[in-house]
Amino acid sequence: MKNLVIVESPTKQKTISRFLSGDYVIRSSFGHLRDLPKKTLGVDVEKNFKPSYVVVERGKKIVPEITKIAMSSDNIYLATDPDREGEAISWHIMEILKNIDRKKFKRIAFHEITKDAILGALKNPRAIDMNLVDAQQARRILDRIVGYKISPLLWAKISGGLSAGRVQSVAVRLLYERDKEISAFEVKDYYSLSGRFKKDENQFDARLFKWEGENVDRYTTLKLFAEDYKYRSSVFDTKEKMLAVVKYLTPEKFKVTAVDKKVTSSRPKPPFITSSLQQESYNKLGFTPDRTMKVAQKLYEGIAIKGEMRGLITYMRTDSFNVSDQIQKQAQEFIKKNFGDKYCPEKPPQYLKKVKGAQEAHESIHPTDVNLVPDSIKNSLTPDEYKLYDLIWKKFISSQMENAVFEQLTVEISDEHNKSLFKVSGRTLKFDGYLKVYSDEEEKKDDDNNDNMTLPPLKKGDILTVVDFDVQSHSTTPPPNYNEASLIKTLENHGIGRPSTYATIISTIINRGYVKRDKSRKLLITELGKKVTEKLIEFFPDIMSLSYTADIEDKLDDVADGNVNWVELMKKFYSSFSKELQEAAENMKSEKVIQHTNVKCPICGADMILRESRYGKYLTCSKFPKCRGKINLANNNAERFKAIKTTEKCDKCKDGYMVLRKGPKNYFLGCSNFPKCRNVKQISQAEIDKLLASVGENKS
């Protein structure tokens, strides 16, 4: 019996080949073999949005080979990834091989590439889940319609080469709105007070928490400022107000009015899902979401450990916290053996699913074998692979451990007339529990909000002496610019995008020139991004609405669950979208501005025009397309010449001049009449240096 197993990546093919005998032939599709055409819409909106799929370029070589093997196979196992995209890839493969008996096709899915998982999947094949396929297809068609219908408008009204995306444009809007908040922000001063108190020979500090019954601590003040500081008498917005309080309190006597001592516990956070992995990897490792997903893909598909390919983690595109009984049992045994029984809870922790549409059959991101301790396989991993695997391994082990236990102490102090209330609090770690392995960013924030100082023995009624008061000045700060981690968190909170899309969303909006990453890794909207966003908000309020975009995501989840027909979803969407499109075509004002400069074209000497694309500003010859002289402008506005005219006539067409141009490797001479004349010549380094020096250009 001959069995064909089709996966979507060559690494996955190599890893799975370890587990299957000679009866199986493993082949990779290298991703999607069919897609919508590149140069046309490829969707018939008049006929139930019927897509016209074509075989992608690489598929023209792969399809004949797979077809030949499939023809002689008894079973064809479609073993692509366990998500909508993977389901769609399998369906497209089956559609391409449409002349082969349908009974031969069997869909298998697994969440980790291990021998047990592969063999288990082969014993439990199923049919293609058309609900998942329809959900993927609906998303693809939605995105295609938005991109192909809006982009030409942007070309005509703003600049060529621009594009819009159904989810990406909403992500840019978040940055646009944040930029407006920061620009409009007014810095305000405010003041806080702490007192140094003494009991016997022991001194300690406490913060003024309430004044005349109203909260005045720093954290509450910040909140009050954000709401409406002008109408809050409790906000000390001048130093004089605070000094008046100090003057009143200086002769006062103080006593301890409350001592609250209690034991609290902190539960470990759940294992990683896609969004939390991307955020934590960014915060702790400095990895961009795209980098995180590329490294995770390698860990999932297989790494050579002592000469054998092994999948080290479960599938990395997931929004489920689910963990199999098998891996939980393995984790319990590991924790007891390496840390002791007290670190292992009696019952394995259970974590609720993250979002609507999260499939409980899916797994969270965790090691396939907890006994593969990161340090034991460090030599088999690249530095990036080791760092990410170490993060995933520690996060998972900690998620299966006991709670951390703290002793929380809060002391309240009042003056004899009860006008003031000072407070000092802190916590002491009594049992580290999961913190022995992994500490989250949240725990650090909790500690920042505690004073965490050593206090003398105190009890209610103790009389205290004031040593002195300290008035601290503060200023309100605007909301921070997004970074990649905080943008993903915001998208997730709004229900925009799904695990497989976050990294792509961010890389797309940066590549389009709508957003840039500064030196501190903050994401900043560009002038081009602002201009495009303002136009889209004005004419496409639905597409640019956060709630509408989130609702579409929910509807796609409903399609995947079989509760909504994808064609009906498309009809409802297109009904309102087509109206907005028509209005935009008629009423959107053009903002194309031709800005002439006094810079002369390095080829023909004519004036140059300032233009802007997603790659930045540049100068182009006013005689374009007859003359193709161009100067790119760097961020510092220094001119970098891409073409420098020489006095040498072209010996081929006898009409043009030879122009110094820069290719991917070095400079060369080409005819100014390109593309009509394609004459090219090599040039010596000495001549290059001379020509570059003539225009003040650095050859490097």
Which residue stretches of the chain have pLDDT < 50?
A: 231, 357-360, 635-641, 696-700
Would you state the torsion angle of the CA atoms of residues 293, 481, 533, 567, taken in this order, to the nearest 10 degrees? 40
Supply the pLDDT for residue 698. 43
Dist CA 14 CA 163 (whole Å): 38
The label of the residue with tokens 């998303």 reads: 139
Dist CA 625 CA 699 (whole Å): 27
Q: Which residues pair with 4 in a beta bridge?
A: 25, 76
Q: CA nearest 339: which of 431, 267, 265?
A: 431
- Is the dihedral angle over the CA atoms 272, 276, 277, 281 positive or is it negative? negative
- Is the dihedral angle over the CA atoms 90, 91, 96, 100 positive or is it negative? positive
Pairing relationship of beta strands 34-35 and 595-600 according to DSSP bridges:
unpaired
Answer whether 364's CB lies under 8 Å from 272's CB: yes
* 3-class DSSP string for 649-694: ECCCCCCCEEEEEECCCCEEEEECCCCCCCCEECCCHHHHHHHHHH
Supply the pLDDT for residue 694. 60
Largest Cα–Cα distance in the chain?
103
Examine the residue annotation and report whether 315 is marked as an active-site residue of this protein: yes
Supply the pLDDT for residue 437. 97
Dist CA 523 CA 487 (whole Å): 9
Number of H helices, E strands in the chain: 19, 28
Supply the pLDDT for residue 667. 76
- Note if the pTM is more than 0.85: no
- At residue 514, φ and ψ (nearest 5 deg) are -85, -25
For 197, counting Cβ atoms within 10 Å of its Cβ (0-12 exposed, 13-18 middle, 19+ buried), the class is buried
Helices (H), 540-604: 546-560, 566-587
Supply the pLDDT for residue 361. 59
For 215, counting Cβ atoms within 10 Å of its Cβ (0-12 exposed, 13-18 middle, 19+ buried), the class is middle
Supply the pLDDT for residue 234. 64
Supply the pLDDT for residue 699. 41
- From the candidates 24, 190, 282, 315, which is the catalytic residue? 315
Q: Residue-wise over 293-329: b if at least 16 C-beta within 10 A, else e?
A: bebbbbbbbbbeeeeebbbbbbbbbbbbbbbeeebbe
Tokens standing for residue 310: 């092994």
DSSP-derived letter for residue 42 is -
CA distances from 583 to 146, 572, 579 (A): 15, 18, 6
Query: Which residues are within 8 A (CB) of 692 and not within 5 positions of it... i.e. 6 or more apart?
Result: 644, 660, 698, 699
The label of the residue with tokens 């934590």 reads: 280
Query: Which residues are within 8 A (CB) of 299 and not within 5 positions of it... i.e. 6 or more apart?
Result: 311, 312, 313, 316, 385, 388, 389, 392
Domains and CATH numbers, the chain: 3-128 (3.40.50.140), 138-184+481-587 (1.10.460.10), 189-267+404-475 (2.70.20.10), 274-399 (1.10.290.10), 595-694 (no CATH)
Compute the residue count for the chain.
Answer: 700
